[in-house]
A and B are shown apart, each in its own frame.
Chain A
Amino acid sequence: MPKTRVGVFVCHCGNNIGGVVRVPEVVEYARTLPNVACVEDNLYMCSEEGLSSIREQIAEHGLNRVVVASCTPRTHEPLFREACEEAGLNKYLFEFVNIREHCSWVHMHDPVMATEKAKELVRMGVAKARFLEPQEEFESSVFPAALVIGGGVAGMTAALGLANQGIQVHLVEREQELGGLIRGVRTLFPTGQASEEVLHPLAEQVRSHRQITVHLGSEVEDAGGFIGDFDVAVKADGQVNNLKVGAVIVATGAEELKPTGLYRYSELGNVVTQLEFEERFKGGADVPRNVVIINCVGARIAERTYCGRFCCTTAIKNAVWLKERDPEAGVFVLHRDVMAYGVQIEEFYRRAMELGVRFVRYDPENPPQILGTDGVDAVRVQHQLMGKEIVLPADLVVLTTPLVARDDNARLSKLLKVPLGGEGFFLEAHLKLRPVEFSTDGVYVCGSARYPANIPESVSQAYASAAKASIPIREGVVRAEAITALCDERTCSACGNCVEVCPFGAVELQEGSFGRTAQVNPAQCKGCGCCVAACPSGAMQQSGFNDRQLLSMIGALAEEMTGGVGE
């Protein structure tokens, strides 16, 4: 083992650090630390002058570890790592010490304490740096094909988004026909055009695309692997088709809630859901005169707290359709609040009122009552604004229910190792910043599989997921930061704790040269270190955050550092 020679570089950051922390004192202190071969300070360590001083000192002093005490690794680590690499030093032999955000900027009025703190932080950084090891980044190739699960609007759009970039796509649809939920919808908001007008050209493009293989009547039976290299078994008519893909898009959609037990649904023939209403009158059956629509059925309640987002729009659309067919029809929408968000829907809502659709607010504590014995005759509701009970004649009651997550989501989430949220919908990596990605690399989501989404929303999400999924495929390789976990097979007892806690399914017990032990797949490991803390024998370690490195920092904070390491 060659002598460990640490170079410490302290930044003034103009006045940002130097105006509070007494940098010369920190420099002098760093010189006294074991293994420190050289200490420099610079007005701006990140300037070209600062960076070249790092490169020069590495050569001149034969440095094999570098510590920079300046700002935050979250912005500047890549820059200093690169400087190390340029000087021929593995970039994982670099350690960052934050004495600006965590010190000079937050202790501006206490230079004495701030200087003491900066010294200790440098001491901790040097302590860790001495135990850093060079690392190689894991690189793996990406199979140039993608799987899209679900052949609705979202799935078809995502498949086209990829295929039009020249990427081979497998589109798996459970039903015998493409189209998803929209197949059951008669007309579309707000133009009133037939859903076929949107659906048929889209499905035709998909079917005729050379780069898309459509698997109808098919389901994903099994899936394994990781970004760049997924193995997926697709089952159709008892036949299993094994596919290899580099990325997966989940576009499985959602289904309409069947409100069993609410408003005498399934007991009375003329109490139907919105989709059943669309289905019933698709063929031009006689439309009843008096229709009462009840919104928020099974939504925004204790057991299902979310808002279905476009069910109000659906209700308005069908109310307008009824009124346009028959201006004399009595159409009432009983609601809790009308969610007519955005410009178009608000206008549509106004148009419904102009056409004579009546909107009545009901109290969920005192919900509308369905009257009638063999079928609905009327609906009794407490009118909240008038403050009195009214009875509305009804030949038909339409219940507006939200989309709910598919039961199959749980199975698919286990297969693909991606999470579900509380309501059973797929959960994206970040609500705001990563809305169509999962935290598991190489798997993406769009449409109502994630949360109830209307057509424009599904289409934009599909574009986004296709764009995201195409990145690794077009790059051809994926690289992982070398902070992954690694198991020492000699000390592993194969207890399997690590397998249990890994959120990414990256650890498996496998037979190796030391018998059955835990093995980490670096392509799947995201470097959280959960498994390391769960390992009772210390066999599992994390590169760049191993026990020796972290304990040396704790030791350095608690006491003086004595004795060098290495020869």
Chain B
Amino acid sequence: MASESSDEGGNGYEPKILVFACNWCSYAGADLAGVSRLQMPANCRIIRVMCSARVRPEFVVTALSKGLDGVLVLGCHPGDCHYSEGNYFTRRRGLLLKNLLQFVGIEPERFQVRWVSASEGAKFADTVEQVTEQIRALGPNRPRSGNQSAEPGDR
């Protein structure tokens, strides 16, 4: 299948964005956006995790080094985590990871962490729209050194 992001030159560039959504808040928020028929750009692909804190920084680095244009991690609002404090880890890891991305020459804006609750279908749709446009504005992600990250089955 032709990848959308292969059309890098013209106006037809469609970024491909990986989204991690926690089961309890953000995935449910995304479901609510669907039930409410809120229309949004079709650039995001959600991977469901139980908690945003499950997202190992390596996943983000792997996704970006494989050429995906952006990674968005969504969790419950701080203080509202189903597991009490998972999203605090997400927040701290996110800040460090942004610094790391900048250090290795990847635009840190390609990686974003946002909070969306189960009742915030509209916020989910707005977030997808905003992040898609921000990443679209950055243009295609061109990782420098190909696929050097972990392959499935390495562990």
Contacts and interface: CB of A to CB of B under 8 A. Distances in A.
Interface in B39-56: 39-40, 42, 45-51, 53-56
Given A72-B31, A101-B34, A529-B53, A116 B89 contact: no
Contacts of A503: 83-86
A62 B52 CA distance: 35
A526 B83 contact: yes
B49 A117 contact: no
Contacts of B66: 554-555, 558-559
Nearest to A101: B34
A102 B125 CA distance: 10
Interface stretch (A194-202, A293-301, A368-376, A541-549): A541-549
B113 interface: no
A177 to B, nearest CB: 35
A109 interface: yes
Given A106-B40, A501-B89, A554 B51 contact: no
B37 A554 contact: no
Interface in A375-420: 419
Interface stretch (A260-268, A276-284, A334-342, A532-540): A532-540
A483 B49 CA distance: 11
B89 A530 contact: yes
Interface stretch (A118-126, A356-364, A444-452, A458-466): A118-126
Interface string B49-76: 1110111111100110011100000000
Contacts, number: 151
A503 B51 CA distance: 12
Contact of A553 (B42, B47, B53): B47
Nearest to B84: A503
Contact of A547 (B46, B56, B83, B89): B56
B42 A107 contact: yes
A550 B84 contact: no
A108 B37 contact: yes
Most chain B beta-carbon neighbours within 10 Å: one of A74, A504, A550, A559:
A550
A385 to B, nearest CB: 38
Contacts of A552: 152
Contacts of B27: 72, 74
Interface residues of B, number: 52
A113 interface: yes
A477 interface: no
A29 B2 CA distance: 12
Contacts of A504: 83
B153 interface: yes
A98 B63 CA distance: 21
Interface in A516-532: 526-530, 532
B95 to A, nearest CB: 15
B18 interface: yes
A49 interface: no
Most chain B beta-carbon neighbours within 10 Å: one of A439, A558, A560:
A558
A468 interface: no
Most chain A beta-carbon neighbours within 10 Å: one of B45, B46, B154:
B45
Given A106-B37, A108-B39, A528-B53, A551 B150 contact: yes
A368 B113 CA distance: 48
Contacts of B153: 548
A530 B83 contact: yes
Interface in A156-184: none
Nearest to B63: A554
24 contacts: A101-B31, A101-B34, A106-B33, A106-B37, A106-B42, A120-B45, A121-B45, A131-B152, A419-B85, A501-B89, A527-B50, A528-B82, A530-B51, A530-B83, A533-B57, A533-B89, A545-B49, A545-B54, A547-B150, A550-B59, A551-B62, A551-B150, A554-B47, A554-B66
Q: 7 closest Cβ contacts across the A-B interface?
A: A101-B34, A529-B54, A558-B66, A113-B42, A552-B152, A528-B51, A528-B83
Given A74-B23, A533-B54, A547-B58, 6 more contacts: A101-B34, A548-B152, A548-B155, A551-B59, A554-B18, A554-B62
